[in-house]
Amino acid sequence: MAWLILVVSAVFEAVWAVALGKSEGFTRLGPSLVFAVGAVISMGGLAIAMRDLPTGTSYAVWVGIGASLTVAYGMVTGSEVASIAKILLILGIVGCVIGLKLVGH
């Protein structure tokens, strides 16, 4: 269950990261609220997952998934230039996250 909570909280990391960018320095209410809610859910989930998983592994997985989804979202929406190199590097991050899960704690 801790792994599921960790993955969901990592998805919310991407949500708050995208919302933060769209908030224009917290000058837009909607994205600022999405950022705040996403950050609370994301950090809360990370904290809960860390009850059962090692801190380093939890944080690496959380950041890896969140960063990968954030960059992928940017490439899909056109706000970030897509390239084969970026796609391969994101896949590398995802592979490392899977590796951390496979080696266990």
Residue-wise pLDDT tens digits, 43-71: 999 999 999 999 999 999 999 999 999 99
Tell me the pLDDT band of 104, cut-offs 50, 70 and 90.
Answer: confident
Taking the CB of residue 103, how many other CB atoms lie within 10 A of it?
8
pLDDT at 105: 59
Whether pLDDT at 100 is above 90 = no
Q: Cα separation of 51 and 26, whole Å?
A: 32
Q: Report residue 53 CA to chain centroid gap.
A: 17
Which residue, among 65, 91, 69, has the nearest Cα to 80 in the 3D structure? 69
Residue 27 dihedral angles phi and psi, to the nearest 5°? -95, -10
Q: Is the pTM of this model over 0.75?
A: yes
- 1-27 pLDDT, tens digit per residue, is 999 999 999 999 999 999 999 999 999
**Per-residue pLDDT at 60:** 93
